[in-house]
Structure 1
């Protein structure tokens, strides 16, 4: 399944059509779940026999906690348009669903290249109010134009994206609905003696734009307050295509050793 972004928020556009055989515990006969793309996003299921109280669709990400352990973090839930499903033998039902991605939703790719963040849509059926049927589809979310513009400006200064991590924690002294933030690791392949070899960059995004945090990288540290100090600068969505972020990036790079000292 693929999610394209229109500006900074995304809509769901499923692209896989092959069914997934999901066999629930205690289910007398197999149940099949898949996704299809029509005029609206639909969740398609067919089976020999099924009764379900609800269809639950959640966007789930793998995030690191303060001690470095990896766990599931629910980013958002999507709304199914139909409930209390009762399927007769051989019956096929298409259930529409809808939803919006929150500002804190991580991205999984930049310019078509994977970033290493694990994001998926998990579908569950409350099968006869007992053991759920579960289906998992990996999601691909492209970086919004603002992210790409800022990261491209760092690339022009020699710092290229070298992976990403999702952290299960709020950025201190900021407002956010979800307690996660995504770190982009930037590496200077030239490794000059007068610059840090690797940086971390974080976008704290809202409808206006983003506050960009940049600091010396510390991959093995997950607590924000235990990381090196960050330099920040603002970037607005409307500036993309009209303003070059190179000046702000160069200023941040020049001041970073002073902040980090």
Structure 2
């Protein structure tokens, strides 16, 4: 019995953990439900705490080029304080609310190449187990889907999506990173714009929509980035002509006019405007990243790319997407980061 306890303390013959998320994509700001299954090992143990980490694989631009890292963007304790006897089983159900700014990983069933996961940590006396990692699928809010569908109807084509470490100045952004969805312009805008990058920053009141356009230079001017912010309420979904609305945004961007915004109850409506720089968040990377007014190009996440059809062909932004090879096991991307950290340590 003493030997069994020793083995359990060092992880050999200890309890096993399996987290099962309820099926179907979840929505930003919505509930994430599931169960943590535990099976007792070769000795009785006290489960002090069960914690779920929401983790994301993000990118950062630095002087040394593009870097990748892992960010924990939410952490919730879902159980603990019970005895798990040798060889017995116990299930801990959980329900937690996703942050409103949780990135979208799928549109109409097609993966975008954005990698999110739920990591389970079980804390016992003198030991922690971080072995269980599950893929997290997040669908779009109705406003997000409406805007992207309108862009597709207007002829924009999907290029890629990624998560960028940093903060968009002048917005109500809460997470230490933001999602960029890169789109190619239709032919009638191609003379003015190379591409646009769309970022959704959702809250309980509505969604801030930041659109950055890579504008082409003219005979007497250089190309530059133009950043505009718009805001809509969740209630506007069923009462808006989205094609006309989004078309007016694009025309403002192409013409160089300022952005408009502010939905009812938006605590950030007074701070809208051009977003000239991004405040960096450094702690998860070997090297920090600083985004300035210079032109930024962001590639797709490691091992995950979604290609789009030619501009103007898609019926919706997602309508013409062709899914390329996506990471088979979400753990691969995170394990690469952790193994690098271990090697350096």
In structure 2, what is the Cα distance between the partners aligned to 1:134 and 1:195?
Answer: 50
**CA RMSD of superposed structures (Å):** 2.6
| CA–CA separation in structure 1 for the residues paired with 2:225 and 2:194 | 14
Structure 1 position 107, deviation (Å): 1.2
Cα distance in 1 between the residues matched to 2:251 and 2:48:
58
Q: Which has the larger radius of gyration?
A: 2
Q: Are positions 1:140 and 2:137 aligned together?
A: yes
Instruction: Give me the whole-angstrom Cα distance separating, in 2, the residues matched to 1:127 and 1:79.
Output: 14
Q: Indicate whether 1:178 and 2:143 are aligned.
A: no
Deviation of residue 232 (structure 1)? 2.5
Does the 8 A contact of 1:77 with 1:99 survive in 2? Answer: no
Quote the offset at 1:115 in angstroms: 1.0
Q: Deviations over 1:4-26 (max 9, x none)?
A: xxxxxxxxxxxxxxxxxxxx993
Deviation at 1:215, TM superposition (A): 1.9
User: d(CA) in 2 for partners of 1:230 and 1:238?
Assistant: 25
SS in structure 1 at match of 2:143:
helix
For residue 32 of structure 1, the aligned residue among 3, 10, 16 is 16
| Corresponding residue for residue 37 of structure 2 | 44
Of the three residues 61, 73, 76, the one matched with 1:75 is 73
Q: Kindly indicate which of the two structures has a greater share of residues assigned to strand.
A: 1
> Which of the numbers 109, 116, 138 marks the counterpart of 2:113?
116
Partner SS, residue 239 of structure 1? helix
1:195 Cα deviation from its structure 2 partner: 4.1
Query: What pairs up with 1:91-102 in 2 under 5 angstroms?
Result: 91-102=88-99
Judge which range, 232-241 or 126-135, deviates more: 126-135
State the shift of 1:184 in Å: 0.8
CA contact (8 A) 1:47 1:90 kept: yes
Name the one with the larger helix percent.
2
CA-CA distance at 1:244 after TM superposition:
1.6
User: Using the alignment, how far apart are the partners of 1:118 and 1:189 within structure 2?
Assistant: 28
Q: Within the alignment, does 1:56 sit opposite 2:56 as a pair?
A: no
Residues 25 and 109 (structure 1 numbering): CA distance in 2 closer, same or farther, change over 3 Å?
A: farther
* 2:287 aligned partner: none
CA distance in 1, matches of 2:201, 2:234: 12
TM-score of the superposed pair, with normalisation by structure 2? 0.60
Identify the range of structure 1 (65-74 vs 153-162) with the bigger mean alpha-carbon deviation: 65-74
> What CA distance in whole angstroms lies between the structure 2 residues aligned with 1:242 and 1:168?
34
Structure 2 match to 1:107 = 104
2:9–2:126 CA contact under 8 A, matched in 1: no
> How many residues of Structure 1 are paired with residues of Structure 2 in the alignment?
227
Measure how far apart 1:191 and its partner are.
Answer: 7.9
- Judging changes above 3 Å, is the alpha-carbon distance between structure 1 residues 193 and 117 closer, same or farther for their aligned structure 2 residues? closer
* Structure 2 runs not aligned, ≥5 long: 1-7, 24-32, 216-223, 258-345
CA contact (8 A) 1:53 1:129 kept: no
Q: Which shifted more, 97-106 or 143-152?
A: 97-106
Q: Which runs of 5+ in 1 are unaligned?
A: 1-23, 219-226
SS where residue 140 of structure 1 aligns? coil
Question: Which residue number in structure 1 is paired with residue 83 of structure 2?
Answer: 86
SS of aligned partner of 1:42: strand
Cα contact 1:212–1:232 (8 A) shared by 2: yes
**1:94 Cα deviation from its structure 2 partner:** 0.8
Preserved CA contact (<8 Å) 1:187 1:197: yes
How far has the Cα of 1:91 moved from its partner? 0.6
